[in-house]
Amino acid sequence: MSRYLTLSALAVLFLFPLAWSGYASLEEPSNYLEMAGFGEGLDTYATNSVLVSVMTVGGTLVVSALGGYGFARFDFPGKNLLFLATLAILMVPYATILIPLYVLLGYLGLQNSLVGLSLVFVMFQLPFALFMMRNAFEALPRELEEAALVDGCGTFRAFSRVLLAAVRPALITVGLFAFLASWNDFFAPLILLNDGSSFTLPVAVVSMTQHTFGAVDYGMLQAGVMVMALPCLILFIVLQRHYVRGFMSGALRG
């Protein structure tokens, strides 16, 4: 019983800030209206965030599913080297290569571009995603693929028609991690985007505290917090099972 009392007290501590932020944002419903008109407009920032998330999730899924299948089922020269190079992304602290990435994206004409930002996110997601997808494809029985090949499918049709459906849980896990990372990240868009109209939500809402003349509108700020946090909270609660599984199988053994 005392265990449940401790747990309940702790749960109140952990949930209180979220509950308060929701309450504070709604205390004056005009908070949301004011925020909608802030800077370039909430719709611009939200659209940018959605675009970046969609491109990151899509890109990560395509690259890691193709790569995972290639690594699980084919032998090719340089395979181990490429796999190690991908895992090495985990070893290199993210913040230390954003400065050269900023310069490099300039060479590629992708500075201040949502596409460039998404590609960078795909790269950061790749070690975890590729590891997850390779393991998922390896765990499939070979018979599944052989049956499809015997039926006259090429490997790509076997991959796209049969195998992809069989690794769906891994795809959901990879997609969820990619979404949370790209939707929430602050440092990469802060560095790689330099024009207000291309800001994603975190950069735009943080700029509310720095670009408002005089007093910060705290109610409006909490409305911004809610707009950023709610999609993640809902998605996490709905897909919790997949998150924890990804954690157990991929995040830890890297």
Q: Which of residues 150-209 bind another protein (CB under 8 A)?
A: 155, 180, 183-187, 190-191, 202-203, 205-206, 209
Q: Does 79 bind another protein (CB under 8 A)?
A: yes
- Does position 232 bind another protein by CB under 8 A? yes
Considering only residues 105 to 144 of the shown chain, the ones binding another protein according to CB under 8 A are 108, 119-120, 122-123, 126, 130, 138-139, 141-142
Does residue number 248 form part of the binding site for another protein (CB under 8 A)?
A: yes
How many residues form the binding site for another protein (CB under 8 A)? 89
| Cβ proximity of 125 and 181 under 8 Å | yes
- Asked if residue 64 binds another protein (CB under 8 A), the reply is yes
Q: Does residue number 3 form part of the binding site for another protein (CB under 8 A)?
A: yes
| Cα(254)–Cα(16) distance, integer angstroms | 34
**CA dist 34 → 19, 215, 222 (Å):** 21, 14, 12
DSSP result, the chain:
-HHHHHHHHHHHHHHHHHHHHHHHHHHSTHHHHHHHTSTT-HHHHHHHHHHHHHHHHHHHHHHHHHHHHHHHH---TTHHHHHHHHHHHHHS-GGGGHHHHHHHHHHTT-TT-HHHHHHHHHHHHHHHHHHHHHHHHHHS-HHHHHHHHHTT--HHHIIIIIIHHHTHHHHHHHHHHHHHHHHH--HHHHHH--SGGG--HHHHHHHHHHHSSSS--HHHHHHHHHHHHHHHHHHHHHHHHHHHHHIIIIITT-
80 belongs to the binding site for another protein (CB under 8 A)? no
Closer CB to another protein, residue 103 or residue 165?
A: 103
Binding status of residue 55 toward another protein by CB under 8 A: no
Q: How far is the CB of 43 from another protein (least distance, A)?
A: 19
Q: Which position among 73, 113, 162, 196 is part of the footprint of another protein (CB under 8 A)?
A: 73
Query: Residue 142 or 152: which CB sits closer to another protein?
Result: 142
Query: Which residue, 8 or 36, is less far from another protein as judged by CB?
Result: 8
User: Could you say which of 1, 100, 109, 150 contacts another protein (CB under 8 A)?
Assistant: 100
Nearest residue to 123 (alpha-carbon basis) of 150, 163, 92: 92
* Number of C-beta neighbours around residue 36 at 10 A: 14
Least distance CB 33 / another protein (angstroms)? 18
Find the part of the chain contacting another protein (CB under 8 A) among 34-42, 50-58, 102-110, 163-171: 102-110
* Contact flag: residue 85 with another protein (CB under 8 A): yes
By CB under 8 A, residue 29 contacts another protein: no
Residue 37 or 106 with smaller CB distance to another protein: 106
Q: Which is nearer to another protein, 18 or 36 (CB)?
A: 18
